[in-house]
Amino acid sequence: MTGAQPVLSVRGLTKQFAVGGGRLLTAVNKVDLDIRPGETVGMVGESGSGKSTFGRAVLRLTEPTEGSIRFGGQDITHISQRQLRPLRREMQMVFQDPWSALNPRLSIGDLITEPIKLHLNLGRSERADRAEALARRVRLSRDFLRRTPSGLSGGQLQRVCIARAIATSPKLLVLDEPTSSLDLSVRAGILDLLAEIRDETQTAMLFISHDLSTIRAISDRIVVLYLGAVVEEAGAEALFETPAHPYSKALLSAHLPADPEVKLARHQLEGEVPSPINLPSGCSFHTRCPVAIGACKTTVPQPVAVGGTEHFARCIRIQGGATQTARSETA
């Protein structure tokens, strides 16, 4: 799989918002990311880490400030929305809050088949067949097709959103906290469904979440974001077994596993995430970092290879790895 051409290839993606008074909020800060076919990349971070903005920028739902996005080999960073529209067939999104992500005035059947109507030239009866097949795929009874979203539960609505997103068999699915607003017992079913779809269709997925257990359960590779920048990137197991960056360590230890027998390791952080409006100089994490030294305030850390393959951390305090100046050299 390593040799396959990436579905999505992002380089140096930056998104800034003007927040008045001439100040800039840096939501995403020079992020590089590749996603290969069939691969699920988890993106984890706290609120304000820019993970949702990144997901939206990748699909050009918000315009990136700098950097480039290549989708299926084609540079889509600057093409017009009109040129982009046919490509949307290949890249779809599932949003966090299924209650507000569906037009409340349309029937479930119309919502599910809307992408088919927009992108594929199919007759009405064929679309109806597809709607039934999709409903079956996400394990919704066909009775739902005639109903509107209002009477459905969160889990059912999220299944509708997923059916809608996979209707045109996209190559890339961006999932922005798809299970965060759902109840625990419903989450498991949604995760199962997503895993099944990925295994059947080899759809590449960008799975954005703040929840470490969920991310771990579904991802092949995990990217940790802090204040818009990637601080660590590793295979899912490697990150949980041997986290290298002090922020990743703190994030992992703050996580509460649903098991009273697991002893909590304490790398507790002081304070809270600083404002993304005036990013701290040097390494953004130095204001809360337990191992920060003077140089951290001035040096912007570059990716350092840690241990196994494809494990990088951006921290000047990590020893023993050759500093990489750009990821493209290793790719």
Partner 1 sequence: MSLLKVEGLSTHFITRDIDNQRRVARALTDVNFALDTGRVLGIIGETGAGKSLTAQSICGLLKPPARIVGGRVTFDGQELTSMSPDALNRLRGSQIALVVQNPRSSLDPLARVGDQLVRIHQAHGRHSRAASRKRALDMLAAVGIPDPEGRARAWPHELSGGMAQRVLIAMALMNDPRLLIADEPTTGLDVTVQAQILDLLRNLVQRFGMAMMIITHDLGVVAHYCDEVAVMFAGTIVESGPVKRIFSAPGHPYTRALIGATPERRRVGQGGAQIGGEPPDLYNLPSGCPVRLRCAYATEVCASPPPERVMTPGHVVRCHHAGDLDARGSVA
Partner 2 sequence: MSQVVQGEAATAPRPGRRVLNRMIGLFRMSPVAAVGLLIILFFAVLAVFAPWLMPYDPIQSHPGRVLQPPSAEHWFGTDANGMDVFSRVIYGARYGFGIAIPAVLLALAIGVPVGLIAGYKGGYLDEFLMRIFDGLRVFPSIILALAVVAATGQSLFNVIIVLGLLDAPVFARLVRAEVLAQRNSVFVESSVAAGNPTWRTMFVHLLPNSIQGAMAQTAVRAAWAVRISATLAFLGVGIQVPTPEWGAMIRQGAEVMVSGQWWVAVFPGLALIMLVFGLNLLGDGMQDVMDPRRRQQK
Check residue 159 for interaction with partner 2 (CB under 8 A): no
Site string for partner 1, 151-180 (x = CB under 8 A): --xxxx------------------------
74 binds partner 2 (CB under 8 A): no
The partner residues of 26 in beta bridges, in order of sequence, read 16
50 lies in the binding site for partner 2 (CB under 8 A): no
Q: Pairing between strand 40-44 and 221-226?
A: parallel
With CB under 8 A as the contact rule, the residue among 122, 186, 279, 300 that binds partner 1 is 186
What is the Cα–Cα distance from 170 to 266, expressed in whole angstroms?
42
CB of 64 to partner 1, least distance (A): 25
Nearer to partner 1, 29 or 219 (CB): 219
Alpha-carbon torsion, ordered 97, 76, 122, 195, to 10 deg: -50
Query: Roughly what angle, to the nearest 10 degrees, separates helices 184-201 and 154-166?
Result: 10
User: Strand 91-94's sheet: what is its strand order?
Assistant: 91-94, 172-176, 204-209, 40-44, 221-226, 229-235, 312-314, 303-305
Which residues have a Cβ under 8 Å from the Cβ of 98 and sit 6 or more positions away? 154, 157, 158, 160, 161, 181, 182
Contacts of 149 (CB under 8 A, 6+ apart): 99, 102, 103, 104, 106, 108, 111, 157, 160
Which entry of partner 1, partner 2, none binds 195, CB below 5 to 8 A by partner kind? partner 1
Give me the 237-276 binding string for partner 1, x by CB under 8 A, dash otherwise. Answer: -------------xx--xxxxxxxxx-x---xx--xx---
Using CB under 8 A, pick the residue from 29, 52, 92, 156 that binds partner 2.
92
The pairing of strands 312-314 and 303-305 is antiparallel
Question: Residues in contact with partner 1, total (CB under 8 A)?
Answer: 41
Q: Which of 103, 150, 153, 298 binds partner 2 (CB under 8 A)?
A: 103
Q: Which of residues 119-158 bind partner 1 (CB under 8 A)?
A: 153-156
CA diameter of the chain:
68
Residues near partner 2 (CB under 8 A) are 56, 59, 61, 81, 85-86, 88-89, 92-93, 95-97, 100-106, 114-115, 118-119, 161, 164
Residues near partner 1 (CB under 8 A) are 46-47, 153-156, 183-189, 191-192, 195-196, 199, 210, 212-214, 216-218, 250-251, 254-262, 264, 268-269, 272-273
